[in-house]
Structure formats: C-alpha cells, structure tokens
Amino acid sequence: MTSRKIEPLSPVITEELAKKLVSYYNTPFFVYSQTLLEQQADKALSFPNAYGLTVRYAMKANSNRNILKIFLNKGIHFDASSGYEAWRAIYSGIPPNKILLTSQQPECTEKDGMYVCSLTLEDLIKRGVNFNACSLNQLERYGNLFPNSEVSLRINPGIGSGHSNKTNTGGPSSSFGIWHEQIYEALKLAKKYSLQIIRLHTHIGSGHDPKVWEKVALMSLNSGKKFLDAGHDLRILNLGGGYKVARVNHEKSTDLQECGEAVKQSFINFAAETGRELHLEIEPGTFLVANQGCLITKIIDVKSTPKYNFIIVDSGMTENTRPSLYGAQHPITIIPQDKTKRKIKKYIVSGHECESGSIWTTAKNDPKSLEPRELLEAKIGDLLVVGGTGAYCSSMSTKNYNSFPEAAEILISKKRKPKMIRIRQTLEQMMENERDIL
C-alpha cells in the first residue's frame, strides 16, 4: 500500500462503533459526542475576561434540543437568530432570560388561510427574552412597544472577517447591525423612547487572527464611549462568535486563550479610562459543535470518467450543503466493509441528489471547482464518514430535496451509549402538511 495522505477518522466515532450503528440505523445519520461537546463548552467558558463572562451558544449551528440542554447544564446561555429559534429554545426548556434574540426578522407569525398563530416580538419580550435591535427600524419598533425600558444594540463596526464574503458578517458589504456611523441616529431614537442601551453587540464573521478580534473590540469599545457620554448605563459588550475551527489539516483554529487575552486587556484599558467595567459576552456556535459531530453515510456507487473517479453516497446536500455554498472543507474517511488491502485513489465524492452541485470535494473556498481527495479505494457498501459536521449541517441542509427524508441524529452519551435524539423522517411526515385541493 502506498503511504497514506488520507485524513483520520472523526474523534466522535470508531470504525467498530460506526459499523455497529449502521447495523441498527439506516444511513445517513449524524452522530454527536456528549463528552466532546462538554469538553468544548469548558474551553469556551475559560475565555479570558476582566470583569465577568457569559458564553451564549449560537443555536443556529445545531438546534437539537438535547444539545441545547447539554449546554444549559454547563451554564451556557443562548443566542437566537429568529423569533422561531427563540420559541424553539423556550419549548426545549431554556429559561427565556437566558436567550438573546438577534434577528433580521424577530417576528414569527404563521398563516395558513384558516387560522393565524401569532408568536410576536412583544410576546417574546414579555416572556423575558432579551432583545438585540439590529436596525434603526427595529429599535423604533421596540421603543413603541416598550418605552422606558432597557435594550441592546447590534452595531456593524465597519470591518469583518471570514474566508469569503459569504461568511463575513461585518463591513460595508454586510447588512447585519446598525452601521457604526449611524450611532447618533440610534441615540436620538433611544432618547425619543426613553430607552437605556445596556449592551452593545458586534459580530464580524469567522476567523482565527487575534489581532482582528482585538481591533474589533477596540472599535466596539470606542462606540461604547459614545453611549456612556450620552448617559446610557452600558454594562455589557457582546463580541459575537465566529471563532474559526479547523476541520481539516491545512486549516487553523482560533486560539481562544490568545484571542481572549488581547480582548481582556482592551477591557481593562477601557475601565481605566472611563471607570466602567464591562461584562463580556461571546457567542460561539461552530466552535462548540463542529468537530463534535460526524455524518455516517454508505457508498452506493463508484463511477469514473476520463478525468475523475467518483464515489456516490446515500447523502449529499440533503445533510451537508456547506461545500456547495462556501467550498467548505470536511475530512472524509472510508471504512471498508471487508479486510482486503486497498490502494489509495483520488476521488470526487458526489451526493445522491439529481444536482450537479452536490459535491463534498470542492476546492478550498471555491464551490465552483472540484478538487479530488486521496481516499482508500472505494467499494459499494463501504461506509464513508464526514467529520466536522456538528455545526451548520443538520440545521442548514437542503432538507427534502428530491424528497429524501431528513436524516436521524444520534448522541453518544458519556457512558458511550448511543441514544437516538432525532428519528429518521418518514415519507408520510414529509407530506403531512400538504393539502389536497383537486
């Protein structure tokens, strides 16, 4: 056998356990490790800080209620990116006062022609959810509903970070937050409705450079001075999430300790200058769950053209759309179903959908280009494991495309016992909301 350049198996699973699970459950399915999730939570909770820390899990990364409960039990709070997410967290047992709603659309009103189910912003705030206004319009709406109250503001600091514009949530090309040059308009609205701004929030995207986080912290703290000067009781600075996680060998993870120390010193300097000791909040999502989950699939076909060898699996964009959207990289490993020696070959890994974009071996940061991976020689019936799929896969897939059912999810408990936390969807469940009118 030639020397391997193939990627290691996800730490979530062993070959033996993967084969055992496949004997019980239909592929594809996600597997998460409770032990690894809790270990990662501990790392986030140790983020350096000067005057107190709250870690909020960005639940959009993976919103299964069992994962929410694991983090709740570790003392983590929550970031909701829509009114629906906030209600989902509440229905999962998360106390409303531990939820911060930061959303382009905080309302969630459902209509189907026969009834209206209204779960409004007003309802959420009356329940105790904290609101983070992301635009001047949202701030005015909140002021109309709750004058003489406290509120949070999301500011676009003017710069961003990320491996592409699709993962950059700061700067002039991003719609998220109130543009930093419009702070004085926000102050006028706050005065109009007698609002106290107690929290500033920024989120710039994903990256690993500590100097970028330090720069954003400084810019955000400078914005904070304007609110203090205007008489606001600013108590919290939320620096968002986006802490880069290396899923494959050539990527670099954020060092939270290095990043946090630079931010901590900025808070100390701010306190010395203003007399205000600000509480720090961070909102990791990917960092908490990415490498704590993997996707187990089965090879259903092997093909070739004059240019490429192809592996076809019983999954694809229906479970992991990140490579198609961003050119994101995930470790891919084949588990042979027999004990024969295998060569190493280069493959394109393709999904089961009728969709040419369903490719998991795209070029780095380029979803339009193919980049074959070195894998064990593939045979029909082998298992193929995709690592780093704990974040933005189950929660952000093209569910039900080609009418493929939603995949199951399994949690490996701390006692190494597999427990089903989401059953595989049935065709009947997929169609249950359709109505016959003809």
Q: Which pLDDT does position 204 carry in this prediction?
A: 67
Q: Which pLDDT does position 188 carry in this prediction?
A: 97
Q: Which pLDDT does position 174 carry in this prediction?
A: 57
Contacts of 303 (CB under 8 A, 6+ apart): 309, 310, 312
Q: Which pLDDT does position 219 carry in this prediction?
A: 87
Number of domains the chain contains: 2
| Cα(263)–Cα(239) distance, integer angstroms | 10
Whether 210 contacts 256, CB under 8 Å: no
Same domain for 194 and 322: no
Same domain for 275 and 257: yes
Nearest-10 Cα torsion for 147, 153, 158, 164:
-130
In a domain, 1, yes or no: no
| Cα(153)–Cα(132) distance, integer angstroms | 5
Cα 340 to its chain centre, rounded Å, is 39
Whether 76 contacts 281, CB under 8 Å: no
Last residue of a domain, one of 273, 289, 305: 289
Using DSSP, state whether 405 is helix, strand or coil. coil
Whether 421 contacts 42, CB under 8 Å: no
In a domain, 430, yes or no: no
| Cα(142)–Cα(196) distance, integer angstroms | 12
Same domain for 334 and 284: no
Instruction: Calculate the alpha carbon distances from 214 to 207, 239, 252, 265, 331 in Å.
Output: 12, 10, 18, 9, 31
Same domain for 417 and 283: no
Q: Which pLDDT does position 119 carry in this prediction?
A: 75
- List the catalytic residue out of 134, 259, 294, 354: 354
Domain range for 342 is 15-32+290-425
Contacts of 48 (CB under 8 A, 6+ apart): 256, 257, 260, 261, 263, 264
Same domain for 335 and 203: no
396, amino acid identity: M
Same domain for 93 and 128: yes
Same domain for 367 and 265: no
Where do we find the tokens 């993967």? 18
Same domain for 152 and 44: yes
Q: Which pLDDT does position 180 carry in this prediction?
A: 82
Contacts of 290 (CB under 8 A, 6+ apart): 61, 245, 247, 388, 389, 390, 391, 392
Last residue of a domain, one of 289, 304, 336: 289
In a domain, 432, yes or no: no
Q: Which pLDDT does position 16 carry in this prediction?
A: 97
CB atoms < 10 A from the CB of 423, how many? 13
Same domain for 161 and 245: yes
pLDDT digits (tens, 9 = 90+) for 406-423: 999 999 999 999 999 999
| Cα(389)–Cα(391) distance, integer angstroms | 5
Q: Which pLDDT does position 104 carry in this prediction?
A: 81
Q: Low-confidence residues of the chain, pLDDT below 50?
A: 1-4, 160-170
In a domain, 233, yes or no: yes
Q: Which pLDDT does position 208 carry in this prediction?
A: 58
Same domain for 190 and 46: yes
For residue 327, what is the domain's CATH number? 2.40.37.10
Q: Which pLDDT does position 254 carry in this prediction?
A: 87
Beta bridge partners of 384: 297, 334
pLDDT digits (tens, 9 = 90+) for 86-127: 999 999 999 999 999 999 888 776 655 555 556 788 999 999
For residue 151, what is the domain's CATH number? 3.20.20.10
- Exposed, middle or buried: residue 304 (CB in 10 Å: 0-12, 13-18, 19+)? exposed
In a domain, 235, yes or no: yes
Whether 161 contacts 204, CB under 8 Å: yes
Same domain for 108 and 50: yes
Q: Which pLDDT does position 170 carry in this prediction?
A: 46
Active site residue 354: yes
Same domain for 307 and 280: no
Whether 155 contacts 170, CB under 8 Å: no
Last residue of a domain, one of 289, 307, 328: 289
